[in-house]
Chains A and B, each alone.
Chain A
Amino acid sequence: MNTNLFVVILASAIFYGTPLYFAALGELLTERSGVLNLGVEGMMLIGAVGAAWGAQHVEGSAWFGVLGAVVIGAMAAAALGAVHAVLAITFRVNQTVAGLALTIFAGGVGLSSYLANTWKVAVRPTPRPIRKLDVFGLGDAPVIGPLLFHHTVLTYLSWILCALMSWYLFRSRVGLNLRAVGESPQTADAMGINVVAYRYVHTIVGGALAGIGGSFYALAIVPTWVDGMTKGAGWIAIALVIFGFWRPDLTLLGAYLFGALSSLGLTLKARNVHINGSLLDALPFAMTIVVLVVVSSGWARRRLGAPAALGIPYEREER
């Protein structure tokens, strides 16, 4: 085993950053279409409870079980994304409030807790946690082993998605249309792009990705169900989108930075470094504020801003 502290911190940054990245990538897609969904925390928790239920009920091989659990988690969260889509796009309600409502409804003391207690998913530990793979047998190689070849299948999926989404957003025709919908829905509409359809699809897909992030908590990070187990990760994911200037690649870096901050306490504790636990707990949240302040002020704001129509309902002028 490699014991270099720096490598250990980086490896756990990738592990703990993975769910953050899924959620942030989902929010990124949603926001690129011009819809703001502050319900990420709630969608993650519903994804987590869906995956926890799936892990205990899907029959078949271990692989199939994990796949089934993640798919159930993603679908449950996508359903919540659809609720937000109906409210935000069709009913044109205030998207901030609708998103908050989603998190309060589904969050740690809401539906996710109710379903977990009704289905009794907390009674026993998740029977089929997602395990780290040993790719090409290189998992034990020095430095590159833990960094590149010893991760869960979802981490590898997130890397593929990062490349795929970068291409989709900036190189494909549909991605160009999507950005047009987020920047200026009137223009997009005039070009014959179906604004409503684009927004619906990306809000629902965004929910599904948040659900995958949530299932990572239930299947990989926390072995048994705890109410509110994502502990604010959904909110950090929203901040990460801003931090990453709405770009999949920069957002990945941000996710790993916050993954490192979230796991620093555990890593240092394992090394018998004594720092007050509360201080370490506070780090990711305090850093989120610092990062937001830096990004939202001055030069950064002028260079790469949010989609221009973010959070504004689109109303086609009639007659």
Chain B
Amino acid sequence: MRGPVRLEKRLDQRASLTWLVPLLSIVSALAFGALLLIVTGRNPFSVYQRIFERGFLSRSAMRGTLIAATPLAFTGLCAAAAFRLGVINVGGEGQLYVGAVGASWAALRFGEGQPLALTFAAMIIVGGLAGAIWSGIAGVLRARLSTNEIITTLMLNYLAGIFLEYLIFNSRSYWRDPRSFGFPSGRQIPARSFWPSFTVGGFEIPLGFSLAAVVAAVVWFLYRRTTFGYEVDVMADSPSAARYAGIKTRTKIVVVMAISGALAGIGGASDVGDFRHVLDAKGIQLAGYGYTGIVVAALARRHPVAVLFVAVLIGGLTNAGYALQGPDFPAGLVGTLQGLILFTAVAGEILTRYRVRRRVVRPVPAATA
């Protein structure tokens, strides 16, 4: 190939790049975003300043940010957990929906007259199970019939969205509020089953977010410190080597997919418990946590603990987007910025694998008179 630059394979992995690349990704995404804002007649500095203020700079902003970050942390873990095996689960969105369905059922069913700990545990477990079953469908199809999991998980997202609308708008289900006639809505879960938040050092930390921190640590341990995680790594590197070594590769695909879906499902539970307190068919779809989770996982370079921090960052962006939306802050701006971050994170991967070398062009000697 001819061109001014050329890519040369790196033989070593530079440690500094693991944090430098994500940082550069964000900076360049903001630069591209600024370009778009200027072209469409807006002042990028004032837009970014407002996002920063409404996302991070006050106590109430931080509270909203952490609440938005919680489902993102779970869907980010969901995407990361599958991707470590080389399986691509883009179904975090749908798995989160069914998790919310499961968790709100558990809260409606066990919300009154049971110990609180049991109610919370039921919400988390039922939500996680629902997510695991939903992703398990794609996992079994991939493992048994080698069906492309990207398309099946995506189709399952749309199906889960339709399922939500069925439960709230098109049927007289257990989740629907029987008193809502004009505009159907979900039944609110009992007030005592709302998830509490803890105040640590002046910050209000929602229960869901602390749960995400614990789960991130568990995922890290599972992938880095157990035989299971080791086998996943072997499989990701070479499925045939894994089979020779006696690793049950098909089972592993199903298990990893189920774990991944369970994580997104718990994210759905946290959204019901921390924030919505109701199965909100429209709102949860508009939030798009599952797709944003892919951005989170990519920027965190699939590291479970890094996912947590990136989720707060992207959560701040999301939260500011909600707060600011209006005529001078159009819908889609935050989504565009998130997409740009994903783009630059993906392109940034190239820097970790290749060295960019400038092609040396020898100057043409000037003609002598």
Show the binding face of A for B, using Cβ within 8 Å: 38, 83, 87, 90-94, 96-98, 100-102, 104-107, 109-118, 196, 227, 231-232, 235, 238-239, 242, 276-278, 281-282, 285-286, 288-289, 292-293, 296-297, 301, 316
Show the binding face of B for A, using Cβ within 8 Å: 1, 7, 36, 40-41, 88, 90, 141, 145-148, 150-152, 154-156, 158-159, 162-163, 165-166, 170-171, 286, 288, 291-292, 294-295, 298, 330-336, 338-340, 342-343, 346-347, 349-350
Closest chain B residue, CB of each to CB of A86? B347
A297 with B146: CB separation less than 8 A: yes
A91→B344 CA distance, assembly (Å)? 12
A87 with B155: CB separation less than 8 A: no
A110→B286 CA distance, assembly (Å)? 12
A231→B159 CA distance, assembly (Å)? 12
- On chain A, the residues within 8 Å of B163 by CB distance are 278, 282
B155 with A286: CB separation less than 8 A: yes
A105-B343, A106-B339, A288-B155 known; A296 vs B146 contact (CB < 8 Å): yes
A281→B166 CA distance, assembly (Å)? 10
A276-B171, A292-B148 known; A117 vs B346 contact (CB < 8 Å): no
A105-B342, A111-B336, A111-B339 known; A92 vs B147 contact (CB < 8 Å): no
A293 with B349: CB separation less than 8 A: no
A104-B295, A242-B148 known; A87 vs B331 contact (CB < 8 Å): no
A103→B298 CA distance, assembly (Å)? 15
A105-B342, A281-B162, A289-B155 known; A114 vs B335 contact (CB < 8 Å): yes
A296 with B166: CB separation less than 8 A: no
Closest chain B residue, CB of each to CB of A111? B336
A276-B171, A289-B152 known; A113 vs B332 contact (CB < 8 Å): yes
CB < 8 Å: which of B7, B40, B145, B292 contacts A92? B7
A251→B201 CA distance, assembly (Å)? 60
A113→B151 CA distance, assembly (Å)? 23
- On chain B, the residues within 8 Å of A239 by CB distance are 151, 155
B347 with A91: CB separation less than 8 A: yes
- On chain B, the residues within 8 Å of A110 by CB distance are 332, 335-336, 338-339
- On chain B, the residues within 8 Å of A296 by CB distance are 145-148
A278-B165, A297-B145 known; A227 vs B154 contact (CB < 8 Å): no
A93 with B147: CB separation less than 8 A: no
Closest chain A residue, CB of each to CB of B337? A110
B349 with A292: CB separation less than 8 A: no
Q: What's the nearest-Cβ distance from chain B to residue A186, in Å?
A: 15
CB < 8 Å: which of B150, B156, B170, B332 contacts A117? B332
- On chain B, the residues within 8 Å of A235 by CB distance are 151, 154-155, 158
Closest chain B residue, CB of each to CB of A36? B150
Could you list 5 examples of A-B contacts with CB < 8 Å?
Answer: A105-B342, A114-B40, A285-B155, A285-B162, A297-B145
A112-B332, A114-B335, A297-B146 known; A104 vs B342 contact (CB < 8 Å): yes
Q: Chain A CB within 10 Å — which of B141, B145, B150, B332 has the most?
A: B332
Q: Chain B CB within 10 Å — which of A114, A116, A281, A296 has the most?
A: A114
Q: Chain B CB within 10 Å — which of A96, A113, A196 has the most?
A: A113
Additional pairs, 11, CB under 8 Å, beyond known A100-B150, A117-B332, A235-B155: A98-B343, A100-B294, A104-B295, A113-B335, A114-B335, A115-B40, A232-B154, A238-B151, A239-B155, A293-B141, A296-B146
- On chain B, the residues within 8 Å of A112 by CB distance are 332
- On chain A, the residues within 8 Å of B166 by CB distance are 276, 278
